[in-house]
Chains A and B, each alone.
Chain A
Amino acid sequence: MINNINYISSLAIPLTMMIIILYGLKEKKKTFDVFLSGAKEGIEIVVKMLPTLLGLFLAIGLLRSSGIIDFIVDLLTPLTELIKFPSQVMPLALLRPISGSASMAVAVNIMNNYGVDTLVGMITSVIMGSTETTLYTIAIYTSCVRIKKTRGVLFAALAADIAGMVISVFICRMLS
């Protein structure tokens, strides 16, 4: 079962790439030229992202090395034990809805500390992959039409995030 899941997981990237490139060939596109123009744009994205990453990695790194994160994790342990949520992942769960790059910095920090391929590392990865920056998304989409009455969509989105996080923990526990 675990082997099958790993196998299908590892097929996802090759299959996606193959289907897209075959489609390009079928419709007689200059696949390589198109690829290059997209890739070039990708480099710009990363270059623009670097300052943000630097700033946030710094802030998160300081929180970790000063011992504040451990202090908060210790405080939260009784609560997280109650719901069987690993307390090491708690900083990520708290920051994830607020900021994409800050949660990325926390995720890297957690995986650096507890290992990528450990249970904690897996849970961190799955949470990062299956949730979004909820608050930011809601802010963008409501402000572009100047709407202030959101009828509780925030709670729906946060409920979805919490469900995603709980399921992530559950699946990773099952697989490990």
Chain B
Amino acid sequence: MLNILWPVFIILSFIYAIITGKVNEVNNGIFDALESAVELSITFLGTISLWNGIMEIAKNTSLINKLTNILKPFIKRLFPELKHNEKANQEISINIIANILGLGNAATPLGIKAMKTMQEDNKKNDELSNSMMMFILLNTASLQLIPTNVIAIRTSLGSSNPTSIIIPVWISSIVAAIVGVLFVKFLIKKGKK
């Protein structure tokens, strides 16, 4: 995707700038862009390392198991077809916990595992099963407890209150997830007819 978008963005910008006589602005734009990328990376160096370290502690404790238990009733309702598939349930819960804790790097491989386990039970194996649809939707919803990247961006841009967005983020993530889940439920119902 970006192999198409990236060159198109750059070439179009240069052509547009030359036509509208904004060559100087574009020249400044190049160096401003590099500067803000490096600045943001320096902020990230601090915050991402910090959270990775903290979450490494979480990974090493029984906290993950505790959270899995809390999730159980939700998983049961969202994935009724996996009632007897203990392995899939487990993998889905760990993937969701990893998403909530912001362990993006851990969440994806776990999610792929869960997809493969669900595929074993899939009757039509060229088509997503109901459970797989629900699982993918939950992964496209942002369930992260602490939006660390956004807070880091806000900090590096000098916000006076970088964390003030946390509650608004929770509210809109939850609303988005509910809309998505209902939509998938609707698609599942439609598929049955």
Contacts and interface: CB of A to CB of B under 8 A. Distances in A.
B173 to A, nearest CB: 4
A105 to B, nearest CB: 8
Contacts of B146: 12-13, 16
B126 interface: yes
Contacts of B142: 129-132, 164
Nearest to B51: A42
A38 B56 contact: yes
B54 A160 contact: no
B6 A56 contact: yes
Interface string A142-154: 1011111111110
Interface residues of A, number: 103
A20 B63 contact: yes
Contact of A108 (B140, B153, B187): B153
B34 A163 contact: no
Contact of B168 (A109, A126, A132): A126
A53 to B, nearest CB: 5
A159 interface: yes
Q: How large is the interface on B (under 10, 10 to 19, 20 to 34, 35 or more residues)?
A: 35 or more
A57 B33 contact: yes
A98 B48 contact: no
Given A108-B153, A128-B153, A153 B60 contact: no
Contacts of B124: 149
B189 to A, nearest CB: 12
Nearest to A35: B53
Given A34-B57, A129-B169, A175-B168, A155 B140 contact: no
Contact of A66 (B22, B48, B56, B161): B22
Interface string B52-95: 11111111111100000000000000000000000000000000
A66 B14 contact: yes
B179 A126 contact: no
Nearest to A54: B37
Given A23-B61, A161-B176, A61 B29 contact: yes
Contacts of A93: none
Contacts of A24: 57-58, 60-61
Nearest first, the 4 closest Cβ-Cβ pairs linking A and B are A38-B56, A65-B29, A61-B33, A164-B176
Given A42-B50, A54-B34, A145-B116, 17 more contacts: A6-B161, A12-B163, A23-B58, A23-B61, A39-B49, A49-B44, A58-B37, A66-B13, A116-B157, A128-B149, A145-B118, A153-B187, A155-B183, A156-B183, A159-B179, A159-B183, A164-B173
Interface of A: 5-6, 8-10, 12-13, 16-17, 19-21, 23-24, 26-27, 29, 31, 34-43, 45-46, 49-50, 53-68, 71, 98-99, 102, 104-105, 107-109, 111-112, 116-117, 121-122, 125-132, 134-138, 140-142, 144-153, 155-157, 159-161, 163-165, 167-168, 171-172, 175
16 contacts: A9-B165, A23-B58, A27-B62, A39-B50, A42-B45, A42-B48, A43-B45, A43-B48, A67-B22, A108-B36, A137-B139, A144-B115, A144-B116, A163-B175, A164-B175, A167-B171
